[in-house]
Structure 1
Amino acid sequence: MTASAPVSIPVFKLYGEQQDWLSPDLLHCETISLRSRVHDWEIRPHRHADLCQLLYVHKGRARVEIEGQFHELAPSAIQVIPPLCVHGFQFSPNVEGFVLTLAAPLVAQLQAQLGGSMSALQRVASYPAGKDRNYLNSLFSALQSEYVSAQPARDMLLKSLISVLLVWVTRQVIQRREARQIPQRGREYLNLFNQQVEALFHEQPSVEQLAHRVGISVAHLNSICRELAGQSALQIMHQRLLLEAKRHLIYTPMSVSEVADSLGFVDPAYFARFFRRLTGTSPSGFRTDRTDSVNPV
């Protein structure tokens, strides 16, 4: 049995074109249907040596293959495809959208303007349009319209529109990066908050005081507590206070008044109301119930 020859992935300027890049433009913009219709709505796996592409789908179905991995690109969304990345597409006949191709010199110019943020064009990623769907529809439509026109200052307007688009993509990259960082940062803040609660709950500090010690606002602290602990900051503080009250009532002979005083309650009656609100019973009733359960008759 003879070994099969290795599969050779073609390198095209644009899919289906073997010739060099003929246009003086450093970009190319066309509708998805223009090229995919000719190929029966399927663009087979290929790669571009020095071109970056942004596929924008705002209607219909697009199945994207990237380096042998498949995913559905739900409308409306942008797919970024860096140079030399093997990619292919399968579209539904009702697909609507655009393919924007940027040559390496133009990408380099944009990279110089945006600095490190231009890493948005150096990795495979897809970005849902979300609330910006109409905005992106208009932006890509304007790009396509200007690309096929011969109006004065065409190059200037094209570069301006592309800059606007790439700012949008870059902001998505930054938001996604920050979203990944928030949980870890939030856990760090929650740990600091719990440490402060543990150290100071006897003094019954305010939420504002503990938020100040953690170094964030009350609103931010509450948001983190609700997201990661399922409770507000005040509820966490009250639960720690309640736990200590229960410990005193169960394991010490202290009177209810003494327990209240040890936990920073200036009024035993207020302590009793606090305890009943969180447990549904009075401190004395809680102690009696626990004593009876430990020493049944």
Structure 2
Amino acid sequence: MDAGGIGWYFSGMEPRPPIPVFTLFGETSVFPDVIHCERVLDRARLHDWAISPHRHRQMSQILQIETGAAKARVDGRALDLGPGDYLYIPVQAVHGFVFSQGAEGTVLSFPTPVTAGMTPEMSSWLARPQQGRLSDRAAGLIADLRQAHRTTGTFRAQRLVGLAQLLLATMAEDSLDGIAPTHGAGRQMDRLDALIAGHLGEGWTARDYAGALHVTTGHLNRIVRTARGCSLSAHLEAALMAEACRLIAFTRMPVAEVGFRLGFADPSYFSRRFRLQVGEAPAAYRRRLQDA
């Protein structure tokens, strides 16, 4: 959202995507600034205070609420936000909002090069939606970012990148509350999850993922079992069915087409796999969410 009328989540759509995928600006898919900063009020009031479910393929966001409230839904999870709260939305997460009339706050959008430049210890935090209360130092950094975004100068871009990364690191540190960052196997899990997100529906096997990470399938299986308490194949299955849940919940795509997009040629086999993982048939899952 920006006061000049450039959209928060509009445009840049591919033809008939399964879930709307948006970039920030106009009719171009290029992110024309280092980060983007806009006020909630400037955009939400133009759309009856509701932002429909969508996701961003190459961008993460922070929503800060200053006044009023918002009801958010991120990958099917309902969240309530009030003054002083924040929500971090990672790349690819499906999200939508309903704001109370007159709600105000800040939306910061970071293209992937900004977050990709952070240390591996940040990867796990950046990969998942995060919700919490802003500390005074994090709130101050958001105010600094808003100010820096309005300025010009030779080193404006570097200031914005530095402030954005400092903000993300501060929020992660505040939320971890002394939990040690991930190392070694944790970094391999982060890399694995990034590969899974990039190759869903392409039929990659455990061997393909292990090869991409330059480890044996057995070694990768041990890493996953230690980090997640399940086998590599079970972890891959859970990721695939999580995407199936998103497509079923947020689109009107026929169940058979959802399965086909995720690499299942047989609709019946897909439905059986979905029921085993989720606990109910795809059609029943869709009906339950629509009635919620």
Higher-Rg structure is 1
Name stretches of at least 5 consecutive residues in structure 1 with no aligned partner: 1-5, 179-297
Aligned partner of 2:73 in structure 1 is 65
- Deviations along 1:128-180, one digit per CA (max 9) or x if unpaired, are 12xx24x33332122112112213421122122112211212203421747xx
How far residue 102 of structure 1 moved from its aligned partner, in angstroms, is 0.8
Instruction: Sort the Cα spacing of 1:92 and 1:151 in 2 relative to 1 into closer, same or farther, 3 A.
Output: farther
Relative to structure 1, is the Cα distance of residues 90 and 18 closer, same or farther in structure 2, using a 3 angstrom cutoff?
Answer: farther
Picking from 46, 53, 61, the partner of 2:61 is 53
The one-character-per-residue Cα deviations of 1:245-292 (angstroms, maximum 9, x if unpaired) are: xxxxxxxxxxxxxxxxxxxxxxxxxxxxxxxxxxxxxxxxxxxxxxxx
1:145 aligns with 2:147: yes
Cα deviation digits, residues 51-102 of structure 1 (max 9, x gap): 1111111221011111222120122122111111110011122322111111
Gaps of 5+ in 2: 1-15, 181-292
Number of positions where the alignment pairs a residue of Structure 1 with one of Structure 2: 165
> 2:22 matched to which residue of 1?
12
**Does the residue aligned with 2:79 lie in a helix, a strand or coil?**
strand
**Taking structure 1 as reference, are residues 21 and 33 closer, same or farther at Cα in structure 2, changes over 3 Å only?**
farther
Matching residue's letter, 2:48: D
Q: Distance in 1 between matches of 2:103 and 2:68?
A: 4
Work out whether residues 58 and 137 of structure 1, in 8 Å CA contact, stay in contact via their aligned partners in 2.
Answer: no
Output the TM-score relative to the length of structure 1: 0.51
| RMSD of aligned alpha carbons | 2.3
Specify the alignment match of 1:118 in structure 2.
123
CA contact (8 A) 1:120 1:169 kept: no
Residue 7 (structure 1) shift: 9.0
Q: What is the distance in 2 between the residues matched to 1:120 and 1:144? A: 23
Q: Which residue is equivalent to 1:197? A: none
- Report the Cα distance in structure 2 between the residues aligned to 1:158 and 1:62, rounded to whole angstroms: 27
For 2:108, the equivalent position in structure 1 comes to 100
Measure the CA separation in 1 of the matches of 2:178 and 2:129. 14
Partner Cα separation in structure 1 for residue 138 and residue 121 of structure 2? 23
Alignment of 1:122-271 (within 5 A): 122-129=127-134, 132-133=135-136, 135-175=137-177, 177=179
- Counterpart CA distance in 1 for 2:141 and 2:154 is 19
Tell whether 2:23 aligns with 1:21: no
Structure 2 distance, partners of 1:85, 1:161, is 24
Where 1:141 maps in the other structure, the secondary structure is: helix
- In 2: Cα distance, 1:68 partner to 1:150 partner: 40
% of aligned pairs identical?
30
